[in-house]
Amino acid sequence: MQKHIIMRKLADFVKEKRKQANLTQEAFAERAGVALTVVRKIEQGKENLNLEKVNQVLKMFGHILAPVSEKDISDIHR
């Protein structure tokens, strides 16, 4: 359940930032150096994403995503 929440926040962040940059998904994917399907999957909140590709997208906004354990996620919500 918490993974779903994290992916939804990631999806919302990327979509909002892309729109602020006034880019279509296609133009954004090209600039980020990823396939259009990668951008679409991120914005749809899909959970089976390649971390390297996600980070290529996030680097466009000066961010990266690092792996965390379920315990780390649980500790954050305490």
Query: What is the spatial distance between Cα 20 and Cα 10, in angstroms, rounded to a whole number?
Result: 15
pLDDT at 24: 97
pLDDT at 63: 87
Domains of the chain: which residue ranges?
Answer: 2-69
| Closest by Cα among 10, 28, 29 to 19 | 28
pLDDT at 47: 85
Query: What is the spatial distance between Cα 12 and Cα 75, in angstroms, rounded to a whole number?
Result: 23
> Which has the minimum average pLDDT: 9-13, 33-37, 59-63?
59-63
Q: Where are the alpha helices (DSSP H) in the chain?
A: 2-20, 25-32, 36-43, 51-58, 70-76
Pick the CATH number of 2-69 from 3.30.1370.160, 1.10.260.40, 1.20.120.160, 3.40.190.10: 1.10.260.40
Query: What is the spatial distance between Cα 57 and Cα 75, in angstroms, rounded to a whole number?
Result: 27
